[in-house]
Every structure is written in C-alpha cells, then in structure tokens.
Amino acid sequence: MKFVPDLEEGRLLRRYKRFLADIETASGELLTIHCPNTGSMLNCMSEGCRVWFSRSNDPKRKLPGTWEIAETPQGRLACINTARANALVEEALRAGVITELDGFIALKREVAYGVENSRADFRLDYPSGAVFVEVKSVTLGFDGTTVAAFPDAVTLRGSKHLRELAALARQGMRAVQLYCVNLSGVEAVRAAVEIDPAYAAGLREAKAAGVEVLAYGAEITPQAIHLVRRLDVQL
C-alpha cells in the first residue's frame, strides 16, 4: 500500500476527544487533524513525538488531514489508522504473502455470519469450502521486548468475534484470527491479558476449538506500508 503523495511529517501536540489531534507540521503550520483510531493508543504516542499524516483537499471535509503513522516512545513506527488493516491484509492475500491462506478462488469482504450478528472481515472461497477470517490491528508495544500485544483496551467486540470463530471451527469449518501487526521492531504477538483477561481467555478457547491464529508484520515507512512476514503468536 503506497501513500500517494508521500505522507507529511509533523509533531504531536495533543490527542483529545478520541478522534482529534493537534499537530505542528515541519513548516510550523498548526493543524487539527482526524485521528482514525478508537482505541487507547497505549504506548503509541507521546507529546512531541513525530507523526505522519495524509492531507486532504476535499472542501467537504471538516479537517484537513488524517493521522496515519506515529513514532512510539520506544522509537518504533506504528500505523495508527486502524482502517488500513483490512486493506493491507487484502493486498497481502492477493499477493500470496499470507501463505497459509493462498489458493483461494474468490474473496469477499464484510460477510454476515454467526449467531451474534457478526460480519467477517473476509470470506475466502476454496474448492474445498469457505474460510472466515477476522482481522485485528496490533500497535501495542512495550519497552525492552519485541513482543506486541492485543488489545490495547477492553474489547467486547473482539471477544464476540472469537466466540463466532470458535463456533464455526466446532462445526468443522475453517476459521482464522489474523493479527495485522502495524508496529515495527516486532517478532511475536500475544494477548494482552493484563488489559483484557476475558479476551485472552477467549483466544485460548478459540485456539482449542480449532481456530487458526496467525500474525503478520508490516514494513512501515512514510511512503508505503506492506505486510511482509509471519510472526510468532504466543498463547
């Protein structure tokens, strides 16, 4: 996924009201831009950290830009725009990067499934049948470790998705929880049990039921982001 044009650099002044961020651009311009992240963004930002944003020329938009990447307190790059995760995964699927899911003959997004009114991020069709894939964007890192964690805040929705996937697996269908790790300098992923123990328990239960748990890491620059390699999942 290439950014066209390249992202612009700035410095974070503050994030507030969840969806707003005040920044100062490299040229000294003060802007309020959109923060497209509903999570806590724990360990993703600090006052004065470098940020990269896309600028919009759409006169209908209230804000002139969207925050895309942050430099974390650990010096890593994090793509904080969670809306990018599904596009990154689709790009990787179609390019054959995610080898465990290669060979599908059709791809559909946002497909209704389950008994809790869920929508799968992807349904992949193979000659042998369908595979349902849920995607989660991972940006939570910690000092002194290359293991990222999910979630960064309690996620009832994430736990619901694990239950839905587990139910499919128990019925003999193939179900996949895929972590899109939008954080540089990471070698593995784990459940953030210290933040959401119910989610961590749900992940273990889903794995035991037959859900496949995969993680792929992104290469991040202000010019482009691509999923490039499989990461370990620590259960």
Identify whether the C-beta of residue 138 lies closer than 8 Å to the C-beta of residue 189. yes
Supply the CATH classification number for the domain 8-79: 2.40.50.580
Per-domain residue ranges of the chain: 8-79, 84-234
pLDDT digits (tens, 9 = 90+) for 170-206: 999 999 999 999 999 999 999 999 999 999 999 999 9
Assess whether pLDDT exceeds 90 at residue 126. Answer: yes
Q: E-assigned strands of 127-223?
A: 129-138, 147-150, 174-181, 188-191, 212-220
Average pLDDT, the chain: 96
Assess whether pLDDT exceeds 90 at residue 60. Answer: no
Q: Could you give the CA distance from residue 215 to residue 178 in angstroms, rounded to a whole number?
A: 6
pLDDT of residue 83: 93
pLDDT digits (tens, 9 = 90+) for 221-234: 999 999 999 999 99
Supply the CATH classification number for the domain 84-234: 3.40.1350.60
Q: Is the pTM of this model over 0.85?
A: yes
